[in-house]
Structure 1
Amino acid sequence: MAYRTKTSILALLALILVAIFMTIKAGGNWDYILLLRGKKVLAIILTGGAIAYATLVFQTITNNRILTPSIMGLDSLYLMIQTFVIFLFGSNARMMIDSNLNFLLCVALMVLFSALLYKILFKRDQQNIYYLLLIGIIFGTLFQSLATFWQVLIDPNEFQAVQDKMFASFNNINTKLLGIAGILLVLVFAYVWRFTKYLDVLSLGREQAVNLGIDYDDVVKKLLVGVAILISIATALVGPITFLGLLVVNVTYEFMKTYRHAYLIPASVLISVIALVGGQLIVERVFTFSTTLSVIINFVGGIYFLYLLLKERKSW
């Protein structure tokens, strides 16, 4: 089957799921229903697209289909920021009430952390990308430990506010927040897309990329900055969804059967939208909001992660 045909099938399936999600049990209240559900769909498209795009680029850079950008500790940093603010100022602090301020501050701090990490680690010319991942794991563990420590100390009534931030939610999205996030994501997408032509070569490895004339370190630095910004915006918008990127990107590789990122990128975005819209339908119509979408995604993604580990082990 041609790659364009496969992409068209994914686009059609995504449109069908979105149409079902927008119209199911509307009850004639179209103005209210379309506005409410439209915000969720827009948040799903922005978040799913950002995570899928960032994870695909990250796995290409690292030449590893098991790693995701969350390994750099951005999810843990987001949770630590939320916990620290509630621990220090309480859940009624302006940063917790004002979603715009919360979003901008979280994005700024996560991007600043990534920039400092890259600046320190890439200061020397021959720094290994896996050294960056190792440091990211260490910082991620540190942030997670600090967040857990502060969660133990805060008032039990305040812990509910922290718990709301621990899981991604598409139910209460601020429209103004969607506008800011949408503009930022479009700008970052445009920035990262310029390097798409290099991704096919980068997937061959550092040595081959250098031999083929790619300025490897410079391109990788710029791509990692884009990945960090995409993940930061997606996480600050709806919360952490750890296994979404791992799940959709590996399904994309299996479905598309190609190395060409011009086809892989749109396919991964569409599969991400399909997974999130389908998952949200299950949350609302099957579980009647008794669980969150991130729990379902992480459950399925965790099982698939174990499958990938066992599959790699057999290949050894």
Structure 2
Amino acid sequence: MVKTRLIPLALLLAALCALFLLWNLRAPVSFILSLRFEKLAALLLVGAATGVATLLFQTVAQTRLLTPGIVGFDALFVFLQTTLVFTLGGIGYVTLPPFAAFLAEAAILIVAAVALFGIVLRKGASDLVRVVLTGVIFGILLRGLASFMQRILDPSEFAIVQQASFASFASVEADQLGVAALILGACVVLAMALASRLDVAALGRDTARSLGLHYDRFVLAVLALVAALVAVSTALVGPITFLGLLAASLAHALLPTHRHALLIPASGLIGAIILVAGQFIFERVLAMSSTLAVLIEFLGGLLFLMLILRRRTT
């Protein structure tokens, strides 16, 4: 049965978590375990949330080629970091309270995404293509503004912006993890509750409406969930654009089903597996300090090109 394929994924994730926590563990054990547990929690939360968000977004967008990052989440995050450094200076930026900055960034990202979806989809969810096109243009505009401000910054301030522009799991605070876990956990539970209606929505707007689903209202609700998942994840560690594409594509490949009650947990498990396994190999096995997000973006970009080329040949 397809359902039984979730069990190996869960067991693999549990084994990777144990390896991540216990590999080459030395004294002081309690202190090192606390640090590793915080990083592991961030990896699990971001991986699961990003995988689930991408699957939901692809369902309502009726395509497996897109990720929520295409709407401009990553560009908005980089623009926010650049603006803060530009206005406050390098010293002012690094002295910001981490928890307050996290809440502010998450709130801004959620409000911006919901505003974009609400304004562009005023004529109904059938106009979802405009969301994608508007998001692309919105992202290009923000990247251009951020690049302009970065050219004016001092080299030391520019280095701060560059460091903040890549996803990092080394500087996550415990209080941030608590708030993120509550929000992301609630969103995933709600997504699971909507699984049966997502199955209907995946059939298309006309078919879904003929089956009694209030399609336009439902799509807006799902997009609000996607906005919350991606915004909180991005505010917590930074942008990872193609992680969700990898997780959702692997979920569809491993579970040949259209049931979202199975695809949602599979995407979350695979997203978490990718991050935990990648961070374990980079940090524990290879002892490298490179950013894991760079490798994920490279592999995700290759997968994106492969999906486009396959679509053109079929």
Task: Give the alignment's TM-score, normalised by structure 1.
Answer: 0.95
Equivalent position of 2:271 in the other structure: 272
For the residues of structure 2 that align with 1:254 and 1:38, how far apart are their CA atoms?
31
1:202, distance to aligned residue in structure 2 (A)? 1.1
Equivalent position of 1:107 in the other structure: 106
Q: Identify the range of structure 1 (9-18 vs 193-202) with the bigger mean alpha-carbon deviation.
A: 193-202
Unaligned stretches of 5+ residues in structure 1: none
1:34, distance to aligned residue in structure 2 (A)? 1.4
Equivalent position of 2:282 in the other structure: 283
Asked if residue 201 in structure 1 is aligned to residue 200 in structure 2, the reply is yes
Equivalent position of 1:243 in the other structure: 242
Report 1:286-301 matches (<5 A): 286-301=285-300
1:215, distance to aligned residue in structure 2 (A)? 0.4
Equivalent position of 1:13 in the other structure: 12
For the residues of structure 2 that align with 1:188 and 1:58, how far apart are their CA atoms?
14
Check conservation: 2:195, 2:259, Cα contact below 8 A: no
1:98, distance to aligned residue in structure 2 (A)? 1.3
Q: CA RMSD in A?
A: 1.5
Unaligned stretches of 5+ residues in structure 2: none
Supply the AA of the counterpart residue of 1:289.
M
Check conservation: 2:125, 2:219, Cα contact below 8 A: no
Asked if residue 83 in structure 1 is aligned to residue 82 in structure 2, the reply is yes
Equivalent position of 1:31 in the other structure: 30
Report 1:1-316 matches (<5 A): 2-93=1-92, 97-125=96-124, 128-315=127-314
Partner of 1:92, secondary structure, is helix
For the residues of structure 2 that align with 1:229 and 1:53, how far apart are their CA atoms?
11
Check conservation: 1:68, 1:245, Cα contact below 8 A: yes
For the residues of structure 1 that align with 2:95 and 2:115, how far apart are their CA atoms?
26
For the residues of structure 2 that align with 1:282 and 1:275, how far apart are their CA atoms?
11
Superposed CA offset, 1:12-70 (max 9, x none): 11111111111111024321221111111110111111101110000001111110001
For the residues of structure 1 that align with 2:170 and 2:250, how far apart are their CA atoms?
26
For the residues of structure 2 that align with 1:60 and 1:126, how far apart are their CA atoms?
12
Q: Does the C-alpha gap of structure 1 residues 302 and 27 become closer, same or farther in structure 2, counting only changes over 3 Å?
A: same
Superposed CA offset, 1:79-98 (max 9, x none): 10010010111122267631
Q: Does the C-alpha gap of structure 1 residues 186 and 67 become closer, same or farther in structure 2, counting only changes over 3 Å?
A: same
Check conservation: 1:66, 1:305, Cα contact below 8 A: yes
For the residues of structure 2 that align with 1:83 and 1:105, how far apart are their CA atoms?
15
Supply the AA of the counterpart residue of 2:15.
I
Check conservation: 1:248, 1:271, Cα contact below 8 A: yes
Check conservation: 1:96, 1:102, Cα contact below 8 A: no
